Amino acid sequence: VDPRIVALQKRACARGVIGLAGGLPATELLPRDELARVLADAATHHAVALTYDWPEGVAQLRAWIAGRLSARGATVDAQQVIVTSGAQQALSLIAMAHRGTQIAVGEATYPAAIAAFERAGVDVVADDADAHYVMPGVSNPRGVDLVEPQRAWWLERGALIADEAYTELRFDGRISRPLVADAPARVWHVGTLSKTVSPGLRVGWLVPPLREHQTLLDLKEAADLQTASVTQQAAALFLARFDYDAHVERSRRHYQARAARLCEALRRELPYARFAEPEGGFAAWVELDEPGDEIGLLGEAIAAGVTIDPGRAFRPRDAPSASSFRVSFSSAPIEDLAEGAHRLAVAVDRWLTRGARASRRRS
Amino acid sequence: VDPRIVALQKRACARGVIGLAGGLPATELLPRDELARVLADAATHHAVALTYDWPEGVAQLRAWIAGRLSARGATVDAQQVIVTSGAQQALSLIAMAHRGTQIAVGEATYPAAIAAFERAGVDVVADDADAHYVMPGVSNPRGVDLVEPQRAWWLERGALIADEAYTELRFDGRISRPLVADAPARVWHVGTLSKTVSPGLRVGWLVPPLREHQTLLDLKEAADLQTASVTQQAAALFLARFDYDAHVERSRRHYQARAARLCEALRRELPYARFAEPEGGFAAWVELDEPGDEIGLLGEAIAAGVTIDPGRAFRPRDAPSASSFRVSFSSAPIEDLAEGAHRLAVAVDRWLTRGARASRRRS
């Protein structure tokens, strides 16, 4: 990520502006008391929690992951699952296994996926590669399902890296059959508890194609030996003791209400902006007709008291670049969302004015 | 790591043999109740613990790390510290920053360091490279200080990757000035709580040379966004509330007693074996005069009811290869150590007999 963006966002945090940046879950949905209990219980009663485990991760957690995928129609055994330090580490390990090849990500995608792929020596392109990175159910940043409507087409592509970070947070609760169910030899399945339970645990997972399992396990071990035993064991206890599905359903309704609030305000405040109504997840993706310096737009936004994620971090280098940005409705207090959109409109106005002045100077 | 070794070790675990393999801390030293309390408190009372933080890690923990290094004579600021998922991740990130170069590790070293370096595209050699990997205070697997007695010589080498995983566990409590204090522009300092507090937390750290800080931070973010906030915050609370130095001092005495017990038994049971009395840490390194198949030795050991770590995992490919193995005294019940050494002697006997028979067949 561009260090200028990080510097701006950090300054904004300190000043208490309205945060429409980042992919953070709502604070009020974090199961704080439940996690406190299972963390303490894991440390006190489970031998593995405070010591080393094998690189693939805690057996009870892998069984839950495999069981959930199986319930959705996939044939996945707990032995195929590798617990990772969040979905991000799964992407980074997959990237290492694809060094020297190309991965297509579409015209806009999750910025840290691009970073993980590029750091590992993968050539990231928008289109036309042997491997494709997709987010079934809810794409990031667009907030809509770009996979299921063309499922058959996708399944004819080569390797698919299927990142289900937001899949369960579709507002309509319609969770598709996982891609790995239909093409187990070509799908790298990625999941996480970061969006539905807590990102602070860093518990994600990876189901690689069978023939790649040993390679990925070796990469995982070389990367950090294993994911924290204590958070894995706590996650397993959480999933065994509490009603995960009810928690996810509550979260869907919560985020749906937030999405509606933000979109309504965006339509009112930025009537000229283009965006799709999110079908799930944490954010909407806004496009403007005018090209321009999106980091400058972030600067204007912060000056106006709101943060956004500038579009260029989401684009592979060969993608067309109309101005765009991501606005998250997931974590700012819901009553601030309308004011956030208003400030954003002020910022876009100023930014467009400056841009127009700059182009007059150039001509 | 050779999958045959893993398969053998896993089978051994299941059968309850005496475990002289692995670098596991003593179960009785894990501060179980204290960690249960700080984990619960982190989740309940610290906002950052359950959500995302910045890639460099929790500020309170970085301040402790910097403070501790400063107290030992280094000029290290909290902003230079990057919290990692154990020391292993620090090594893996450092390796990525050294892709395409050579790192020298000596004739025997920590196997997962070799794995991390090689996976990242580093050429691992015994000697003569621009960068050297060292373990000040207590080397792994030799258990003795290979750095301080030749400190000036080491400080004339190029880059030094200084892994202090076991440094604080020197039995004499004499902790040297960190190498980073004398050559901050060339030392990559690595530390961890895995050996002194709990490996299940996966809390380690990295202080790279200043000019490399941004690169390493980008690599960390691409690898897993950040280390688990909840374990970082819990570690910070643990270090603030409890007497870490007293805990480390207790651990030193505990491991020293274990080391003495095992070494005495080794001298009695394997009088022909060569090993140095450990000065700290978890293990001793045993060398035999006869070359041979060390994985075969592990097989014999397990058959005799004991596990060890075969030497070849510790050697870079160009190192000379007399037979050797690591025996850990850190985690098996202390009253089993003498019996473990006895079973090991039985295994070595059988292995030597088989080896002799095999060479008679060959000649």
Q: If 0-12 CB within 10 Å is exposed, 13-18 middle and 19+ buried, where does residue B253 land?
A: exposed
B112 close contact with A: CB closer than 8 A? yes
CA pair distance A335, A261, nearest whole angstrom? 9
For B239-291, give the secondary structure using H, E and C: HHHCCHHHHHHHHHHHHHHHHHHHHHHHHHHCCCCEECCCCECCEEEEECCCC
- Distance set, CA B140 to CA B22, B86, B105, B312 (Å): 11, 16, 11, 14
User: Kindly report the CA angle at A322 between A318 and A326, in degrees rounded to 5?
Assistant: 95
Closest Cβ–Cβ partner in B25, B43, B52 for A199: B52
Task: Look at residues A166, A233, A112, A68 and name the one whose alpha carbon lies nearest to residue B230.
Answer: A233
Mind listing the pLDDT tens digit for each residue in A93-114? 999 999 999 999 999 999 999 9
- Mutation choice for A interface testing from B51, B54, B91, B94 by most A CBs within 10 A: B51
pLDDT at B138: 98
Judged by DSSP in three states, A177 sits in: coil
CA pair distance A211, A208, nearest whole angstrom? 8
pLDDT at A1: 65
- Distance set, CA A108 to CA A137, A259, A311, A316 (Å): 16, 20, 8, 7
Q: What percent of chain B has pLDDT over 90?
A: 88
Q: Which two tokens stand for residue B32?
A: 């179980």
**Is residue A9 scored above 90 in pLDDT?**
no
pLDDT at A354: 86
B193 close contact with A: CB closer than 8 A? no
User: Kindly report the CA angle at A226 between A40 and B214, in degrees rounded to 5?
Assistant: 100
pLDDT at B319: 77
Backbone angles phi, psi at A91, to 5 degrees: -65, -40
For chain B, the 3-state helix, strand and coil shares in percent, each to the nearest 5, are: 50, 15, 35
pLDDT at A362: 67
CA pair distance B205, B308, nearest whole angstrom? 28
CA pair distance B344, B308, nearest whole angstrom? 8
Window from A81-85, A274-278, B243-247, B291-295 with minimum mean pLDDT: B291-295
The amino acid present at A312, given as its one-letter code, is R
CA pair distance B213, B207, nearest whole angstrom? 8
Residue A211: band (very low, low, confident or very high) from pLDDT cuts 50, 70, 90: very high
Check residue B177 and report its DSSP letter. P
Residue A120: band (very low, low, confident or very high) from pLDDT cuts 50, 70, 90: very high
Name every residue whose Cβ is closer than 8 Å to that of residue A350 and which is 6 or more positions away in sequence. Answer: A300, A303, A304
For strand A18-19 and strand A306-307, is the pairing parallel, antiparallel, or unpaired? Answer: parallel
Whole-number average pLDDT of chain B: 95
pLDDT at A116: 97
Give the distance between the most distant pair of CA atoms in chain B.
72
Contact B52 A88 (CB under 8 A): no
Contact A35 B230 (CB under 8 A): yes
Closest Cβ–Cβ partner in A39, A214, A222 for B112: A222
- Mutation choice for A interface testing from B52, B119, B247, B309 by most A CBs within 10 A: B52
Q: What percent of chain B has pLDDT over 70?
A: 99
CA pair distance B344, B301, nearest whole angstrom? 6
CA pair distance B160, B153, nearest whole angstrom? 12
pLDDT at B362: 67
Closest Cβ–Cβ partner in B37, B85, B201 for A85: B85
- Scanning every residue of chain A, which has its alpha carbon at the shortest distance from the alpha carbon of B113? A222
Task: Look at residues B43, B47, B80, B53 and name the one whose alpha carbon lies nearest to residue B65.
Answer: B80
pLDDT at B1: 65
CA pair distance B205, B227, nearest whole angstrom? 10
Helices assigned H by DSSP within A98-212: 111-119, 151-156, 179-182
Residue B320 neighbours by CB distance under 10 Å: 9
Contact B38, B238 (CB under 8 A): yes
The amino acid present at B151, given as its one-letter code, is R
Window from B3-7, B22-26, B141-145, B314-318 with minimum mean pLDDT: B3-7
Task: Look at residues A253, A276, A273, A265 and name the one whose alpha carbon lies nearest to residue A336.
Answer: A265
The amino acid present at B159, given as its one-letter code, is A
Backbone angles phi, psi at B213, to 5 degrees: -60, -50
Strand (E) positions, chain A? 18-19, 82-84, 102-104, 123-125, 131-134, 159-163, 187-192, 204-207, 274-275, 283-287, 306-307, 309-310, 324-328
- Mutation choice for B interface testing from A2, A46, A51, A53 by most B CBs within 10 A: A51
Q: Taking the mean position of all CA atoms in its chain, how far away is CA A292?
A: 26
A9 close contact with B: CB closer than 8 A? no
Q: What is the dihedral of CA B267, B269, B274, B275, to 10 degrees?
A: -60
**Is residue B131 scored above 90 in pLDDT?**
yes
Q: Could you say which residues from 279 to 318 on chain A have a Cβ atom under 8 Å away from some Cβ of chain B?
A: none
CA pair distance A180, B37, nearest whole angstrom? 40
Q: Tell me the HSE value of A354 on the side-chain side, using a 13 A CA sphere.
A: 13
**Is residue A14 scored above 80 in pLDDT?**
no
Mind listing the pLDDT tens digit for each residue in B168-211? 999 999 999 999 999 999 999 999 999 999 999 999 999 999 99
